[in-house]
Amino acid sequence: MGIRPAREEDLEEVLRIERESFPSPWPRRVLRKHLADIFLVYEEGGRILGYIIATVELLPSLEPFLHILSLAVSSGERGRGIGTALLGSLLGVMEELGIGRSVLEVRARNLRAVRFYERHGFRRIVLLPRFYRDGEDAYLMVRDVRRGLESPRK
Ligand SMILES: CC(C)(COP(=O)(O)OP(=O)(O)OC[C@H]1O[C@@H](n2cnc3c(N)ncnc32)[C@H](O)[C@@H]1OP(=O)(O)O)[C@@H](O)C(=O)NCCC(=O)NCCS
């Protein structure tokens, strides 16, 4: 019970959640590829109820940052804090590693998700027109750990 790294045998349940959560769900082979990334699941009573997938992006002349690729909770289990727990667990680990910036794209129409991320410290930075293959727009959202809290300026 709780949050742990995803394993191959979790993919069936992750795929079910993926299909009920997104208009263009990722196929199993894409989810399997992400087992090599940061891929956490929330397990309760032997069932997978949610997951989060992210990578650490290393780009020239930029500090490493976290890119959240997917977050979903089983439709009957939403509103119980599972999404918050998954996001919080990921951000906590990242902050311990010194990675203070997280970015993500979210469907602009998905107001519940936009509000969810805003409540967790993400800001809408820019609208990305027709970001998704089906022509929908995305918001690029960014969350920065406030500098100065961990290492006050001298
Ligand atoms: C966005 C998502 C991951 C949030 O997960 P969650 O487990 O419902 O999140 P939480 O329970 O921590 O918080 C959800 C908030 O919505 C509210 N809520 C109430 N009923 C809800 C419901 N039926 N469904 C979702 N949220 C509900 C909760 O009260 C909570 O608000 P609060 O933080 O002010 O208390 C989930 O809704 C989901 O899987 N959505 C579909 C996929 C998606 O849009 N993913 C995000 C884009 S990548």
Give alpha helix (H) positions in 26-70. 28-33
Share of the chain above pLDDT 90, in %: 84
Q: How far apart are CA 95 and CA 97, in angstroms?
A: 5
For the record, the structure tokens of 141 come out as 């959202």
Q: What is the pLDDT of residue 151?
A: 46
| Res 42 pLDDT > 60 | yes
| Res 147 pLDDT > 90 | no
Strands 101-107 and 65-73: parallel
The preferred substitution site among 20, 112, 128, 140 for testing ligand 1, maximizing ligand atoms within 8 Å of CB, is 112
| Ligand 1 centroid distance, CA of 113 (Å) | 7
C-alpha torsion 83→85→90→94, nearest 10:
130
- In this prediction, residues 16-20 reach a mean pLDDT of 97
| Res 153 pLDDT > 80 | no
Contact criterion met (CB below 8 Å) for 64 and 58: yes
The preferred substitution site among 17, 18, 74, 78 for testing ligand 1, maximizing ligand atoms within 8 Å of CB, is 78
Domain for residue 136, yes or no? yes
Look up the CATH number of the domain holding residue 72: 3.40.630.30
Domain for residue 154, yes or no? no
Q: What is the pLDDT of residue 78?
A: 96
| Res 19 pLDDT > 60 | yes
| Res 96 pLDDT > 90 | no
Q: Which atom of ligand 1 is nearest to the CA of 119?
A: 33
| Ligand 1 centroid distance, CA of 133 (Å) | 24
Domain for residue 151, yes or no? no
Q: Up-side HSE of residue 101: CA atoms within 13 Å toward CB?
A: 10
Domain enclosing residue 90, as ranges: 2-144
Sheet bearing 2-5, strands edge to edge:
2-5, 38-44, 47-57, 65-73, 101-107, 138-144, 123-128
Please give the residue that has the higher pLDDT: either 23 or 128.
128
Q: What is the pLDDT of residue 50?
A: 98
Domain for residue 16, yes or no? yes
Contact criterion met (CB below 8 Å) for 82 and 98: no
| Res 150 pLDDT > 80 | no
Domain for residue 13, yes or no? yes
- In this prediction, residues 43-68 reach a mean pLDDT of 95
In the chain, how many domains are there?
1
The preferred substitution site among 73, 102, 117 for testing ligand 1, maximizing ligand atoms within 8 Å of CB, is 73
Query: For the chain, what is the mean pLDDT?
Result: 93
| Res 128 pLDDT > 70 | yes
> If we measure between CA atoms, which residue out of 106, 99, 137 comes closest to residue 122?
106
| Ligand 1 centroid distance, CA of 144 (Å) | 21
